[in-house]
Amino acid sequence: MKKYYFLFLVSISLLITSCGKDDPSSNDPSTSVKVYPLSSVSNSKISGKVSFTKNEDGSTTILLEINGASKDIHPAFIYFNDVATGGEVAITLAPIDCDCESSSTIVTTLDDGTPITYEQLLKFEGHIKIHQNEEHLEIIITQGNIGALAN
């Protein structure tokens, strides 16, 4: 009986420790990570954050994480200029599937093919918008300034 009890405790502890989200900055102290907040728009009650992580190969992983989203798949983009001014799409990001409320995109260039590094993204004058869905791109559910324009 003690053997089964011990196996049960070990199984539960493994299950609990394997279900947490890993913080990319906690794995390697030399990893460069910058996090920007995303604010709710039009009473959507959806907020979140975007994390820029510098990869060893020179690319940047952009992780979008939102809270309180609907069942839609939410398109996401980095735009030129600040939120108040608006601008053209600079980088198309992977859409957020709300079963997991996150998406990850590896970035090396703007949509027009211009190369962009992690350091350049931190100085980029832009903002991120996450939209309701593909059919309603005019509806923004969360947004935030990034790079040089972040508060």
Is 20 part of any domain? Answer: no
In this predicted structure, the answer to whether residue 82 has a pLDDT above a threshold of 90 is yes
Q: What is the pLDDT of residue 45?
A: 87
Q: Tell which residue, 131, 136, 129, 137, has the closest CA to residue 74.
A: 131
* pLDDT (mean) for 63-84: 91
Is 105 part of any domain? Answer: yes
Is 21 part of any domain? Answer: no
Number of domains in the chain: 1
What end-to-end distance do the CA atoms of the chain give, in Å? 59
- Residue 44 belongs to a domain with what CATH number? 2.60.40.200
Q: Concatenated DSSP letters for 59-84?
A: -EEEEEEEES--SSEEEEEEEES-TT
Is 18 part of any domain? Answer: no
Q: What is the pLDDT of residue 69?
A: 66
Confidence of residue 59 (pLDDT cuts 50, 70, 90): very high
* pLDDT (mean) for 32-57: 93
